[in-house]
Amino acid sequence: MDDWFDSFVGPTFMYATGNAQHLYISDPDLVKEISLCKSLDLGKPLYLIEEHGPLLGLGVTRSNGNIWAHQRKIIAPEFFMDKVKGMVGIMVESALPVTRSWENPVDQSEGGVADIRVDEDLRNFTADVISKACFGSSYSKGKEIFKLLRALQECLFRTSLLIRIPALRCGLLLKALKVPYGYLPTKNHRETWRLEKEIQKLILKLVMERKEESARTCEKDLLQMILDGAYADQLGKETATRFVVDNCKNIYVAGHETLAAVVTWTLMLLASHPEWQSRSRSRARKELSMVIQEALRLYPPTSLAFEEMKFGNLYIPKGINLWIPISILHRIPEIWGADANEFKPERFAHGIFGACKHPQAYIPFGIGPRNCLGHKFALIGYRASMWVESPCKEGMIDDYLYVYLCTCLRSIQKMISCKGRDEEMEVIIVEMFWSLALLAFGSFFVYLYSILLLKPKRLREKLRRQGITGPPPSFLYGNLPEMRKIQSSVTKAPNDHEAEILEHDYTSTLFPYFEQWRKEYGSVYTYSTGNRQHLYVNNPDLVKEMNLCLSLDLGKPTYVTKTLAPILGNGIVRSNGQDWARQRKIVAPEFFMDKVKGMVGLMLESALPMLETWEKRIEGEGGIADMRIDEDLRSLSADVISRACFGSCYSKGKQIFSKLRALQKTISTKGFLFGFPNFRLVPTKKNREIWRLEREIESLILEEVKKREEECMGTTTTTTTTTTSSEKDLLELILEGAANDQLGTGSSKRLIVDNCKNIYFAGHEATATAATWCLMILASYPEWQARLRAEVLHVCGDRLPDADALRKMKTVTMVIQETLRLYPPAAFVSREVFEDTKIGDVVVPKGICLWTLIPALHRDSNLWGPDANKFKPERFANGISEACKLPQAYLPFGLGPRVCLGRNFAMVQLKIIISLLVSKFTFSLSPKYRHSPAYLMLVEPAHGVHLLIKSI
């Protein structure tokens, strides 16, 4: 601390021991303000209270708050000056045997000089005084208690109590296991427990004797007052016993050890200064007081004072430990003069106020409400012992004694430090190991308890207060068992496929639990999957607010993003916050309508080969072919996205699409969205397959990227013409965006790969699925085929459609919009709340995942009318605003800032595909077709779509 004092140039600085934060204070004004503070918010450090537990418990010297105030009220009167004056006779009576025991060896020694070790004799003297004055007995009766307390004191201080790493004490966890004081059972700790039990047993024996005696006498000493205080408060037996034992230990330890230490140091000082021996021997009261005060200045019994709180104009955060170094404070030259380190009792000739510039800097017994209760008792005992010793023969306290005292004191310290060095190192190493192990286990246990029980309960409670309820969750599993049970009952029920096609209502089959809970709890309710808390929101007004929210505090659920990371990474579809905003800025321009209109030729170029293939097959099968169309449409859509966004054709990227499809099927297992975490890091067969596909896809994408970079380099060297942004495809824009952001190599590669996967997957799967459902519906409604065919013939004639023709195809648009209403590729709008967010009148807590079931919203009869489950494209005759009561409830591409970037691209592509096919073919459902919508990241036909196709 001296080094830090000099290094940090000031009396106030911070330091830390382990995780405990400390504030060193030696500024006299701050010391005064701290010490005189009467607030109960200022107390003894809790970690030291625990460390001192075996020795002092929660007695008056270590307790805080109202417990301390109550104990002080009981004990303080015993040490009032009037009471202490009556103890002088007892003190003298105890001191005389000590001086007599010294006289004998002095008389018998050669030359009248004896080599005596005084510290143990003085400790016995003070112990006898405490025993007689406070407990109505003699030292002989309490000898065993003092001996055990001394051994316990050495045990506790064996490993640097004040600055040690918290001793593998793992507090609450070990206490919950009923381990004493939270310690581990090391050798030193086992010895501590043994001594503590023996001391308690002896004190309780003394208490029982006192109870028996109290019936025969009316006199009250401190022990009787402690007993009266414990039982007057009507404490429980165990608490009362703890109260009595702890305060008895406090008096035994603090009462005799402090006085013995001060007398020992004073004798050592007098041995070094014979002139003050003579002046003290004169029995001048003032001279003796000056010696005592100076000894207390140089060797205060307490080396440090420690408290915690906020005070004055210095704000001290809760949990900071304040340390006032008394021994250093008593030696500051600026306060005590240049001779601060010298023994000069004369500085106290005019009292404390004349001894130093700041009297509040003299605190051998503390100051203020927490000053030592027994300081008057100690001073009287001190004077009594010194007075009794003064009649001894001249030279009894001389340089020989001084040398021996110093040797004794050093040997005590050496005995404790050197003798126990090996044991201490062993203890520290063992303690550190077990501390870390138990700390890790305890932290993990608390973490699990928090995330599995406390946090979910707290989130549900916040919603419940707002009137939002839901199915009661089970521990650990949440509502998963109920979800599986409901799903199982629906799966076993017989299906009427024809009725399902006519009604187009698959929500009760794919997501029956949502429908059942909606009927029970309304359009807004909460449910749980494991420890995750979800809020189902299908109230149109809340859905509108949720989707139009511009705050980045709403984003895609992170746990879903992690699950889908192999196929989508952290690209534009799944990213959040600034990452999403930056990626959107790069990708969005590629899908503006002006850019999409220029892609119509590419889309036609990709579609025509498929039409030729179908015509050949129909011709080969006699004019009508039974075909599965979903794979062909997926290949067509993949070719369009390859040409439009990546400057290649489907054949070049075929492997990428094939592996993405395999990866989609592998990830989309039962319960991937709402089940337990699928242990992504565990090398199961499924996870190894996912990792293999992910690596292969990334490798293929990076090959394409490398080819494009080489092409760009070649183009740059052969021409100086600058390519405008409108002439660049999406891959080139992504590469430039990654380069311009000055990302590291790893981050840049991740940005490119993730966004390419996003475009490859979302760009072709969603469009292909929508086109598949549209053709299935048209096969079920021949009249709408005819209307579409007539419109295409009217608008295009014998020509292929162009951008202007597509804009005029109103009926085609109506059919596509109605298909997207009944079979939106995305089943959910999902958001996670990253900060508490108000949506409508509902304050949604941080950590909640919001889910809107799009197919259910698209079938709400309150919005779409009683025919909401019917295929009726005419409802869109006057646009979306006239099709339903709340246009924002139509969400095939989402809504607001997170709306699908490729919606214009998808609509144009769908118009081209449908217009070309209805102009060339007629469709009807094949007997092989089985209506089975399935949720595989998108809502798609589980067994594909089989149609009977005939050329016109």
- Which residue numbers belong to the known binding site for heme? 900
Q: What DSSP state is assigned to residue 142? A: H
DSSP state of 450: I
Distance, in Å, from the CA atom of 245 to the CA atom of 247, rounded to the nearest integer, reads 6
| Residue 467 burial by Cβ neighbours in a 10 Å radius (0-12, 13-18, 19+) | exposed
| Strand arrangement, sheet containing 20-25 | 12-17, 20-25, 321-325, 304-307
> By C-alpha distance, which of 490, 516, 275 is closest to 397?
275
Question: 212: which strand partners?
Answer: none
Q: How far apart are CA 929 and CA 947, in angstroms?
A: 7
Which residues, 6 or more positions from 550, have their beta carbon under 8 angstroms from its beta carbon? 896, 897
Distance CA 351, CA 364 (A): 15
In single-letter form, the type of residue at position 16 comes to A
Q: How far apart are CA 36 and CA 948, in angstroms?
A: 96
b/e code 754-775 from CB counts within 10 Å (16+ = b): bbbbbbbbbbbbbbbbbbbbbb
Nearest to 533 by CA among 619, 453, 437, 447: 453
For residue 475, give both structure tokens.
């521990």
Residues 6+ apart with CB under 8 A from 725: 589, 733
**What's the CA gap between 21 and 154, in Å, rounded?**
26
Establish how many alpha carbons lie within 13 A of residue 830's alpha carbon, considering only the half-sphere containing its beta carbon: 21
As a whole number of angstroms, the distance between CA 914 and CA 546 comes to 33
Residue numbers in the known binding site are 900
Tell which phi-psi region holds residue 276, choosing left (phi > 0), alpha (psi between -120 and 50) or beta.
alpha
**Torsions phi, psi for 921 (to 5 deg):** -135, 165
**For residues 58 and 61, what is the distance between their CA atoms, to the nearest angstrom?**
8
* Gap between the Cα atoms of 340 and 800, Å rounded: 105
Q: Is the dihedral of CA 629, 635, 639, 640 positive or negative?
A: positive
Residues 6+ apart with CB under 8 A from 656: 697, 700, 701, 704, 760
User: 362, 155, 381: which is closest to 263 by C-alpha?
Assistant: 381
From first CA to last CA, the distance across the chain in angstroms is: 98
- 3-state secondary structure (DSSP) of residue 86: coil
Counted residue by residue, the chain has a size of 952
Cβ-proximal residues to 950 (8 Å cutoff; 6+ apart), any chain: 618, 623, 624, 625, 921, 922
Contacts 24+ apart (CB under 8 A), 649-657: 650/606, 652/704, 653/700, 653/704, 653/760, 655/700, 656/697, 656/700, 656/701, 656/704, 656/760, 657/760, 657/764
Q: How far apart are the C-alpha atoms of 349 and 354, rounded to whole Å?
A: 8
Please tell me the distance from the alpha carbon of residue 241 to that of residue 227, in angstroms, as a whole number.
9
Opening angle at CA 132, ends 131 and 136, nearest 5:
95
Count of CB atoms within 10 A of residue 926's CB? Answer: 18
Cα distance between residue 483 and residue 512, in whole Å = 8
Query: What is the CB neighbour count within 10 angstroms for residue 160?
Result: 12
**Longest distance between any two alpha carbons in the chain, whole Å:** 140
Place of tokens 């021991």: 17
